[in-house]
Amino acid sequence: MAQTRAAIRYSKAVLDLAKHQNSAEVVNVDMKSIANAVAASTELKDMLLSAVVPSTIKKSALLAVFTDLNQLSVNLINTLIQNKRINILGEVAQKYTELFNESQGRQVATVTTAVALSDDLKSKVLAKVKELTGKDAEIVSVVDESILGGFILRVGDIQYDASISNKLQKLKREFTLN
């Protein structure tokens, strides 16, 4: 919990600085890149969390991996290292992107389906999300064959589950209760 609050504070500070310097979009690209890399690489995550790896090596490794960072992003890495908070870099990057999207009136809609979404279906989902929330959305498509069919739409705190597996579970519960 304390790490989440710290990540939010750092991301808000970087977003304010980036807006002041008119580079919020560029920093957002950096933060997406960092968040995706930390989420995808267990080695990178382990290095950031390791108490054994010196901060100088962490810094040089991060700057070697992320070569084209904006100066604000480099300053964030330096600040996190100085404050012994480099372990929350991935979370700070993720929170920055969330705050940036919120400030731009955008949101992320996660659509889970049993098969990959077609472009036509993506555009229909985007239209529905805009109709429901009044905001533009970015679609993240997740394929999960265990839902059998239908879809699960998640936008912020709202989730709509129209999957076949969910309907089967509801039927199962009804039969076991009677």
Per mean pLDDT, which range of 1-5, 80-84, 119-123 is the poorest?
Answer: 1-5
CATH of domain 2-102: 1.10.520.20
Three-state SS at 137: strand
Q: Where are the alpha helices (DSSP H) in 67-177?
A: 71-82, 89-103, 119-133, 164-177
For residues 96 and 136, which has the higher predicted lDDT (pLDDT)? 96
**pLDDT of residue 170 exceeding 90:** no
Q: Where are the domains of the chain?
A: 2-102, 105-177
Strand arrangement of the beta sheet that strand 136-143 belongs to: 136-143, 106-113, 151-155, 158-161
CB atoms within 10 A of CB 93: 28
